[in-house]
Chains A and B, each alone.
Chain A
């Protein structure tokens, strides 16, 4: 039996809410308002509280979260998130605040925001940070708008954004949304930027190169200063995609690698639960010469007083109705407070240690397309397994049978049958060993009993879903 939809429990007249009795003199709204404005019909379900509790509890039991087990999704950084952060985000004096309260009444929260943006500037080597963007991709878009405005003010209409073929999908999408043309840069055989190709691609029309370092293969671009020189040489800017920040904290800073601006993914690196796909938070950091373009308002400190400044004539404008995803920002603040400089460095070390351990244990079973040293994540290919008849997707689905979530698959696009693995620093060796053993076991199954892999999953409550039907005959609501 499939799980009923909440609407299927509905019974006319049933109710789960309670409201205080109206304590002002009642009025007839059909008389007070123009009756043509009044709604006649509304089809929401009618349920008791226990109906709602059981329905959503039962849905949660059909879900898998980090608290359920390992989530080795490369580039998504699914680490365990400390529970204290949830409590802190719910402290009445920190959460029950309205965005139009006066600055003088919110000095506590403004101090938090101010300190966090300074911490992020320190961690990244940037000069100024805005906390307004509400997700990583939103941060990218904001940064690209800054790039556009910067050139406009210089009287230049640069159209091109260069993006490596291994970049996150949001990079080209954000560039296009900001009105740029996307030029793809092919990686070399070592999975890195090819300096000669880059030289050939960039010119006076290049606004920026978007790059993450380590790149999406987990490999550090050693020649980053040369890359910067080439891009800066034609007057372009270097943009850092902060999705992989947990590989470098305390070791190297984008600012010191000559990046001009960047975004952070607070929900990845600084530990906010992903919530099934959000909310996140994507602050943007810039070097001094770009500060005036940041979205307004900007948080400033005058003496000991924190306040929002709205008069920013060069600003790109607003990208969010208010100040960004404040409660995600709170969690990041709590996380950095708890760890301190030393803890952040340990995060990086252990993320890198865990990834390298897994890579060492798996590289003989699955093909390792790039042998370069990697940091917090690595990419394997199931090409050997494919030759025997099982695809990466089959392997991913088989992992679910063993109660473990699958790695990121078919990304980066430069690797065939890619399995992109990021264990994160919060997993311990026992969990890693279990995952490694499962991966090895699946590879054995492909040799001995391939059908069990090809027809996976078997043990999940739901079997393989017909995605083609979902796309051809969209059924998006009851």
Chain B
């Protein structure tokens, strides 16, 4: 299948209009020296039927989360997505549209993005948000560069309780601009605040804290705010799980300057890590330093409200090498999913999902603590994830779980923590029977 619409006769007609005999003549501008002289080494094309068949067959070599009970989290979360989300984003006027360069024919996308920006601003209690960034990790990369531009300083204090992959991406981005990253150590599963107090100084550009953090713990933002606030021109950069903000106090309450995070939890499927949704919300005074697109409301000639891409002078196609970032394609469709998800869940729904996640996680953790040989590490409050330590081998736990169709959690030995343990996540999708199954397996191991 090649999806070409013109018939051979039509092609002839077109060649005649151009004034050439053969299609090959249109490529005469390519010198022979560089021209490919053999076909590409790619198998011959197939029909739609074969394609669907082949890919379903390949899919069978995967273990999908539909076949197991998953306690995996660590930055990618298995939440229920109401059916309406996919139905609406599958309206082709949305998903086959381009970046809304011609506002008059793109009011749908533009208004939806404006609503998305508004809801992200509400959720984070920040002044305003942009139209999306590539994902949580790269949004942090953009945010540390932004903090450095604003403060005109290079030193970034970044907590080790922050997602290890996010720290890696931030370092990759920051290295190019000579940023210096100082890692704040852990105290149990939260940022060591004594160390923060000792390390912060007037040279600091930003302090980066995740909330809830990588281990699910809720950092004491009031104390962190108190440590930072005596220092002038030191930005508080928060990485948040937007779903948790249904229950937890928002970053705006703690004087955050820049808030970023992963918006996958707001209606995007897991998709093996992408496409996800980086979001960013900031204080109003940083608008002109903010990377990425923004949509603004304005009026048309008849006074009717309408929406446009605005503040474009910050962007790559206007300022070129002086732009605040190179963002061009972003994650517009995921932002639309998030707007629909937040609309359908609403004020109460977001609260209830967050509460169910939190309550179910606490049910599991509290019972795990009663099983000899197993212990939840988190001493401070946590949201829907916790770190599980065991006297037994992690491999054994994983194996025993897997035999019963359970993925026990994320083995943190894959990261840079000199610690062993399983990061266990409980979303609203896990029911009592599944949680009890988890406990049964641990009890069996413990009783051996």
**Residue on B with the closest CB to A475?**
B297
Report chain A residues within 8 Å CB of B107.
3, 59, 62-63, 461-462
Report chain B residues within 8 Å CB of A336.
42
9 example contacts (A-B, Cβ-Cβ < 8 A) are as follows: A22-B359, A68-B92, A93-B66, A97-B272, A219-B29, A343-B45, A360-B18, A474-B311, A476-B296
Given known contacts A43-B347, A317-B168, A279 and B103 CB-to-CB distance under 8 angstroms: no
Instruction: Decide if B93 touches A67 in the complex (CB within 8 Å).
Output: yes
Known pairs A16-B343, A476-B297 / 17 extra A-B pairs, C-beta < 8 Å: A2-B304, A33-B381, A42-B122, A59-B108, A134-B331, A173-B316, A173-B323, A176-B323, A249-B40, A252-B34, A318-B165, A321-B138, A322-B165, A325-B275, A326-B275, A334-B55, A360-B17
Q: How far is the CB of A333 from chain B (nearest CB, A)?
A: 8
Report chain A residues within 8 Å CB of B1.
82, 338-339, 343
A100 to B168 CA separation, bound complex (whole angstroms)? 16
What are the nearest 4 A-B pairs in CB distance? Answer: A322-B273, A93-B59, A275-B333, A63-B108
Q: Does A444 contact B (CB under 8 A)?
A: no
Q: Does A373 contact B (CB under 8 A)?
A: yes
A108 to B88 CA separation, bound complex (whole angstroms)? 29
**Residue on A with the closest CB to B98?**
A274
Instruction: Decide if B51 touches A277 in the complex (CB within 8 Å).
Output: no
A384 to B302 CA separation, bound complex (whole angstroms)? 31
Report chain B residues within 8 Å CB of A249.
40
User: Scoring A residues 273 to 294 as 1 if CB is less than 8 Å from chain B, else 0, what string do you get?
Assistant: 1111111110000000000000
Instruction: Decide if A91 touches B59 in the complex (CB within 8 Å).
Output: yes
Given known contacts A67-B93, A428-B10, A470-B310, A59 and B46 CB-to-CB distance under 8 angstroms: no
Report chain B residues within 8 Å CB of A256.
34, 36
Within 8 A of B (CB), among A116-156: 119, 122-123, 134-138, 140-141, 145, 148
A15 to B344 CA separation, bound complex (whole angstroms)? 7
User: Scoring A residues 85 to 101 as 1 if CB is less than 8 Å from chain B, else 0, what string do you get?
Assistant: 01110111111111111
Q: How far is the CB of A104 from chain B (nearest CB, A)?
A: 9
Instruction: Decide if A471 touches B172 in the complex (CB within 8 Å).
Output: no
Q: Which of A44, A88, A280 contacts B119 (CB 8 A)?
A: A44
Report chain A residues within 8 Å CB of B320.
169, 172-173, 182
Given known contacts A252-B36, A466-B298, A295 and B51 CB-to-CB distance under 8 angstroms: no
Report chain A residues within 8 Å CB of B47.
338
Q: Does B48 contact A (CB under 8 A)?
A: yes
Report chain B residues within 8 Å CB of A87.
52
Report chain A residues within 8 Å CB of B270.
95-99
Instruction: Decide if A467 touches B138 in the complex (CB within 8 Å).
Output: no
B-binding segment of A194-202, A230-238, A351-359: A351-359
Instruction: Decide if B321 touches A476 in the complex (CB within 8 Å).
Output: no
Instruction: Decide if B359 touches A27 in the complex (CB within 8 Å).
Output: yes
Within 8 A of A (CB), among B323-364: 323, 325-334, 336, 339-340, 342-353, 355-356, 358-360, 362-363
Instruction: Decide if A411 touches B72 in the complex (CB within 8 Å).
Output: no
A135 to B333 CA separation, bound complex (whole angstroms)? 14
Q: Which of B78, B218, B310, B431 contacts A23 (CB 8 A)?
A: B431
Q: Does A464 contact B (CB under 8 A)?
A: yes
A-binding segment of B197-205, B228-236, B240-248: B240-248
Q: How far is the CB of B301 from chain A (nearest CB, A)?
A: 4
A64 to B84 CA separation, bound complex (whole angstroms)? 21
User: Scoring B residues 51 to 74 as 1 if CB is less than 8 Å from chain A, else 0, what string do you get?
Assistant: 110111011111111100010101
User: Scoring B residues 363 to 407 as 1 if CB is less than 8 Å from chain A, else 0, what string do you get?
Assistant: 100000000000000000100000000000000000000000001
Max count, chain A CB within 10 A of own CB: residue among B75, B104, B428 = B104
Q: Which of A39, A64, A341, A350 contacts B97 (CB 8 A)?
A: A64
Report chain B residues within 8 Å CB of A356.
14, 18, 26
Instruction: Decide if B269 touches A320 in the complex (CB within 8 Å).
Output: no
Report chain A residues within 8 Å CB of B322.
176
Q: Does B145 contact A (CB under 8 A)?
A: yes
**Residue on B with the closest CB to A20?**
B431
Given known contacts A136-B329, A321-B169, A52 and B347 CB-to-CB distance under 8 angstroms: no
User: Scoring A residues 250 to 289 as 1 if CB is less than 8 Å from chain B, else 0, what string do you get?
Assistant: 1111001100000000010001011111111100000000
Q: How many residues of B contact A (CB 8 A)?
A: 201
Instruction: Decide if B45 touches A476 in the complex (CB within 8 Å).
Output: no
Q: Does B99 contact A (CB under 8 A)?
A: yes
Report chain B residues within 8 Å CB of A15.
346, 348-349
Report chain A residues within 8 Å CB of B134.
134-135, 138, 320
Q: How far is the CB of B32 from chain A (nearest CB, A)?
A: 10
A52 to B351 CA separation, bound complex (whole angstroms)? 19
**Residue on A with the closest CB to B166?**
A321
Q: Which of B62, B88, B271 contacts A53 (CB 8 A)?
A: B88
Q: How far is the CB of A43 from chain B (nearest CB, A)?
A: 5
Q: Which of B19, B114, B359 contacts A360 (CB 8 A)?
A: B19
Given known contacts A45-B343, A267-B329, A342-B39, A220 and B66 CB-to-CB distance under 8 angstroms: no
Q: Does B286 contact A (CB under 8 A)?
A: no
A403 to B318 CA separation, bound complex (whole angstroms)? 28
Report chain B residues within 8 Å CB of A372.
29
Q: Which of A36, A138, A172, A324 contacts B273 (CB 8 A)?
A: A324
Q: How far is the CB of A326 from chain B (nearest CB, A)?
A: 4
Report chain A residues within 8 Å CB of B296.
470-471, 474-476
A448 to B299 CA separation, bound complex (whole angstroms)? 30
Q: Which of B88, B98, B121, B298 contacts A467 (CB 8 A)?
A: B298
Instruction: Decide if A99 touches B76 in the complex (CB within 8 Å).
Output: yes
Within 8 A of B (CB), among A340-393: 340-347, 349-350, 352-354, 356-357, 360-361, 372-373, 375
Instruction: Decide if A478 touches B118 in the complex (CB within 8 Å).
Output: yes
Q: Does A450 contact B (CB under 8 A)?
A: no
Q: How far is the CB of B18 from chain A (nearest CB, A)?
A: 5
A352 to B26 CA separation, bound complex (whole angstroms)? 7
**Residue on A with the closest CB to B103?**
A465
**Residue on A with the closest CB to B304?**
A2
Q: How far is the CB of A458 from chain B (nearest CB, A)?
A: 10
Q: Which of A26, A111, A136, A279 contacts B274 (CB 8 A)?
A: A279
**Residue on A with the closest CB to B270?**
A98
**Residue on B with the closest CB to A265?**
B329
A90 to B66 CA separation, bound complex (whole angstroms)? 13
Within 8 A of A (CB), among B261-315: 262, 269-276, 287, 293-302, 304-308, 310-313, 315
Instruction: Decide if A337 touches B51 in the complex (CB within 8 Å).
Output: yes
Report chain B residues within 8 Å CB of A57.
88, 91
Report chain B residues within 8 Å CB of A53.
84, 87-88
Instruction: Decide if B356 touches A32 in the complex (CB within 8 Å).
Output: no
Instruction: Decide if A17 touches B165 in the complex (CB within 8 Å).
Output: no
Instruction: Decide if A63 touches B18 in the complex (CB within 8 Å).
Output: no
Q: How far is the CB of B314 from chain A (nearest CB, A)?
A: 10
